[in-house]
Amino acid sequence: MERQLSLLRSLFAVVVLAALYPVTAHAGTFYVRQTGDDTNSGATPASAFATIGRGASRARGGDTVVVGPGIYHEGDIKTGGNGRREEPLILLANPRGDLTGDAAGPVMIDATGFDHAFDFSDRPWIIANGFRLSNAEDTGVSIKNVSDSCMITNCVIFSNGRDGVRVRDSVNVVLFNNLIYDNTRHGIEFDGEGTSLRPDIGSSGGIVINNTVYANGGDGIRIEQAPPSLDMLVINNVITENSETGINLKEGSAAGFVGQWNLNTDGYNTSDVARGRLDTAVAPLFIAPAGLDGHLGGAGFADDDFRLRQLATGQSVESIAVDASPLKARKLGMAKTASTRLDGVKDKRGVDLGFHAGNTSDFVVQLRKKKLNFTSNVQKSFDKRLRQFRSTAVKCEDLSTKAREERRIGKGSCVKTGRRNKLIKKCGNVIEDICR
């Protein structure tokens, strides 16, 4: 009877996975569990591998590696092959344990003794979703050497020896809904050394949306210029308590940069290009970043709480990050479990800034659900949505500039309540500060 139940659980996990991450007919799924064995096939939860490295080494474009709850003491994890535009390679943490048949819990890579937790070199189209990554000697996630279009989503990346995430000579990399804190150097760095194929392009086209970047030892977000990383999109992030600059955009990388709705208390470098009109420098009012034990990151990470104070959950004040962006949570692909609130109620209006605990999805996964596979149509929809985000940010920059001028001369949108409310709906709650 127990064997039958185990088989049923395994079958159910495969069905659920297919619904979440539909793949092409040629794709495979590998499972990793604490109770696994690297001599297994990895083809089912019952025959899972024991290490993420083993599962990743077997994966090719279109494959998914599902990792069950637990702490995995390993690092420098590389995939056996790269993903492709139509068939990304997915490394999927499963903290709920429903896909592997395990009790719920975080999926953590303790990379003590290794340079990186994940090391993607010459590996485009890799998606890493839902991991906690800590204690690497160098960087939590290293994306380099033409690892274009990689996506790091819903991860907690903390207490690493240098950077949280470093992107080097890789274009169109997406960082969505990550919590990146207590790393010794920068939270996020985009840079380049130049490659033989692309000597003059660094890590252009980077997309940084809804991340919380907190208390890192260097810059929050650093964008180098030799060679330049152009056309960056940086929106909806919370950047605070970092030791140096919040957004350090070098002048040579300023072309095409769009930044908006960032809560940044750590400032900008000498170029003001990075400062969106609808950025704010007001404290985000987290619940308890260092937790009840008072220890940020490290061994005391488990109770670190980056949810936002909100009147609806009984706090006496409301974070300015609540509903601060006009972009809708559903448009960003936030799951029903995504929340910045103590009670876990989903974010369903204008999206709150920064990291959302409990999120498992993103707008790429959302499109995959609708299209049933990662076809060129999904890529077109993905590109279209990014263009919409960029366009909205640019339009609101112009509207807020106009609103400031109208306020200065005492007429227009900042005086008439109806127009002010329309501006707030179109460009987010932060614009209300302009109209006061």
The pLDDT value recorded for residue 26 is 46
Tokens of 122: 């010459």
264 CB neighbour count, 10 Å cutoff: 26
Q: What is the dihedral of CA 94, 100, 102, 108, to 10 degrees?
A: -40
Nearest to 98 by CA among 157, 152, 37, 31: 31
Task: DSSP letter for 298, please.
Answer: G
Q: Compute the distance between CA of residue 53 and CA of residue 50 in angstroms, rounded to an integer.
A: 9
290 CB neighbour count, 10 Å cutoff: 17
Query: Taking a C-beta distance cutoff of 8 angstroms, is the pair 183, 217 a contact?
Result: yes
pLDDT of the chain, 436 residues: tens digit per residue = 333 333 323 333 333 343 344 434 347 999 999 999 999 999 999 999 999 999 999 999 999 999 999 999 999 999 999 999 888 999 999 999 999 999 999 999 999 999 999 999 999 999 999 999 999 999 999 999 999 999 999 999 999 999 999 999 999 999 999 999 999 999 999 999 887 778 888 999 999 999 999 999 999 999 999 899 999 999 999 999 999 999 999 999 999 999 999 999 999 986 677 889 899 999 999 999 999 999 999 999 999 999 999 999 999 999 999 999 999 988 888 888 999 999 999 987 789 999 999 999 876 765 565 544 545 566 677 788 889 999 999 998 888 887 777 666 665 555 556 667 777 788 887 766 666 5
The pLDDT value recorded for residue 146 is 94
Q: Compute the distance between CA of residue 175 and CA of residue 180 in angstroms, rounded to an integer.
A: 11
Q: Compute the distance between CA of residue 91 and CA of residue 68 in angstroms, rounded to an integer.
A: 11
Kindly calculate the radius of gyration of the chain based on its CA atoms and give it in whole angstroms. Answer: 21
Total-model pTM: 0.91
Amino acid found at 435: C
Which uninterrupted H or E stretch holds 406? helix 376-409
Tokens of 393: 């940010």
Please report which residue ranges of 21-104 form alpha helices under DSSP H: 52-58
Query: Taking a C-beta distance cutoff of 8 angstroms, is the pair 325, 318 a contact?
Result: no
Burial per residue of 165-198, b for 16 or more beta-carbon CB atoms within 10 angstroms, e otherwise: bbbbbbbbbbbbbbbbbbbbbbbbbbbbeebeeb
The pLDDT value recorded for residue 2 is 38
The pLDDT value recorded for residue 433 is 63
Nearest to 429 by CA among 310, 335, 341: 310
The pLDDT value recorded for residue 348 is 76
Please report which residue ranges of 21-160 form alpha helices under DSSP H: 52-58
Largest CA distance in the chain: 79
Domains and their CATH numbers in the chain: 2-277 (2.160.20.10), 390-434 (no CATH)
Strand partners, 235: 209, 260
Tokens of 220: 């929050």
376 CB neighbour count, 10 Å cutoff: 10
Query: Taking a C-beta distance cutoff of 8 angstroms, is the pair 52, 82 a contact?
Result: no
Q: What is the dihedral of CA 346, 350, 354, 356, to 10 degrees?
A: 10
Query: Taking a C-beta distance cutoff of 8 angstroms, is the pair 237, 262 a contact?
Result: yes
Tokens of 370: 């609708």
Task: DSSP letter for 412, please.
Answer: G
Tokens of 335: 């799951």
Q: What is the dihedral of CA 428, 432, 434, 436, to 10 degrees?
A: 180
